[in-house]
Copies of this chain bind each other. A is one copy, B any other.
């Protein structure tokens, strides 16, 4: 039996984080599916100071393979939204108490498929229940209650993080002043579901996956690397690749007619795959992409519109001009729907050739757009 299954199966290291454990048996957490899960540990980071009245909360939600480390530095690693989080930055740590937690189902310290199933003494693997974005958000609410955060001035995040921001606005309308989902919309499109499916299939085709029971055995390296490559196809644009690689051959021998001679763009995709394998769990990848697929704000409500009508926050939707995964037309459409539902919704767009990844790259534009919006909303 393994004590710390989380860190033995992929070589990623993450900084020591704060953790909070709740839903200890028999007080299980009831998931949206009706299944019960417990205990649940949440790994999180905080930035800034909580006001005595607990009203100055900000929640930042991470994307598919992100971590709780949204801001600050840990060794050489900068937080993934570090340029937006800090004193005087748009998510201003002089004003706000900012919380970011690893999502439910993740592999960076929060309970997920790598965690020990107390009932079996083994990692959950595929016995982990399907979790949804809504479940993630409800777990985050437990964490905020524990921390004494009574109110959220802002909830923001990109991609999977943007989906969480939207769910926050619908699930806890009284608690949030402003939500800022970046590169996310009200539900995942069928095409995006198909990309996620291809990624999952890449993992499940790997003979080392073993139905998810690879812990302590050989990691399904090739499967997860291919899944990452498939994902990366949707995060970038051809324009980026033209500028960076064009049709240049990789390596030194450059034998054009050799079947195994890669173009530089192929080496780049190989590298992206290999990089993720060192730091992420394959089963977590399965569960988090599944949660994305199930993302649908209207689920459990008579309609999407009636779900949107619950929202009391101001909403700033940010799209990316070159995003294939969440095309601007989708996000602009959500802004229209939100206004139809009586929500104070604004649409702004990052002009970028980086594609979906722009939410992790275009910090100057993000700072300006978010800064202006918060100033108008009286929050900065």
The reply to whether A226 and B202 contact each other, CB–CB distance below 8 Å, is: yes
User: Whole-angstrom distance between the alpha carbons of A263 and B236 in the complex?
Assistant: 25
With contact pairs A194-B265, A238-B190, A265-B190 given, residues A258 and B202 touching in the complex (Cβ less than 8 Å): no
Instruction: Please give the distance in Å from A20's CB to the nearest CB on chain B.
Output: 25
Query: Are A191 and B226 closer than 8 Å at their CB atoms?
Result: no
A194 engages B226 (CB within 8 Å): no
Given A205-B205, A205-B206, A222-B205, the answer on whether A194 and B258 have CB atoms closer than 8 Å is no
When all copies of this chain in the complex are counted, the total is 2
Q: Is A309 an interface residue (CB 8 A)?
A: no
Point out the residue from B129, B194, B230, B236 that lies within 8 Å of A198, measured CB to CB.
Answer: B230
Residues of A within 8 A of B (CB): 31-35, 126, 129-130, 132, 187-195, 197-198, 201-202, 205-207, 222-223, 226, 229-230, 232-233, 236-238, 241-242, 245-247, 256-259, 262-266, 268-269, 286-287, 290, 293-294, 296, 299, 324, 327
Q: Given A198-B233, A223-B205, A226-B198, is A294 in contact with B256 using a C-beta cutoff of 8 Å?
A: yes
Given contacts A258-B130, A259-B126, contact A241 B191 (CB under 8 A): yes
Measured between beta carbons, the chain B residues less than 8 angstroms from A207 are 207
Q: Given A205-B226, A223-B205, A296-B247, does the pair A233, B290 have CB atoms closer than 8 Å?
A: no
A sample of 14 cross-chain residue pairs with beta-carbon separation below 8 angstroms, ordered by A number, consists of A129-B257, A130-B257, A189-B241, A190-B264, A191-B265, A194-B232, A197-B229, A201-B222, A202-B226, A205-B205, A205-B206, A256-B294, A256-B299, A263-B293
Asked if A194 contacts B130 (CB within 8 A), the reply is no
Q: Which residues of B contact A238 (CB under 8 A)?
A: 189-192, 327
Complex-state Cα separation, A223 to B205, whole angstroms: 7
Known contacts A246-B190, A258-B130; is-contact A266 B202 (Cβ 8 Å): no
Minimum distance in angstroms from A23 CB to a CB of chain B: 18
Shortest distance in angstroms between A40's beta carbon and chain B's nearest beta carbon?
17
Does A193 contact B226, Cβ atoms closer than 8 Å? no
**Which B-chain residue is minimally distant from A206 (CB atoms)?**
B205
Do A194 and B269 touch (CB < 8 A)? yes
Contact of A266 among B197, B205, B242, B264 (CB under 8 A): B197
Closest Cβ of chain B to A327, distance in Å, is 8
Cα of A205 to Cα of B220 in the assembled complex, Å:
11
Are B266's CB and A193's CB within 8 A? yes
Set of chain B residues within 8 Å of A266, measured between Cβ atoms: 193-194, 197
Q: Which residues of B contact A206 (CB under 8 A)?
A: 205
Do the beta carbons of B263 and A193 come within 8 Å of each other? yes
Q: Report Cα–Cα, A198/B264, bound state, in Å.
A: 14
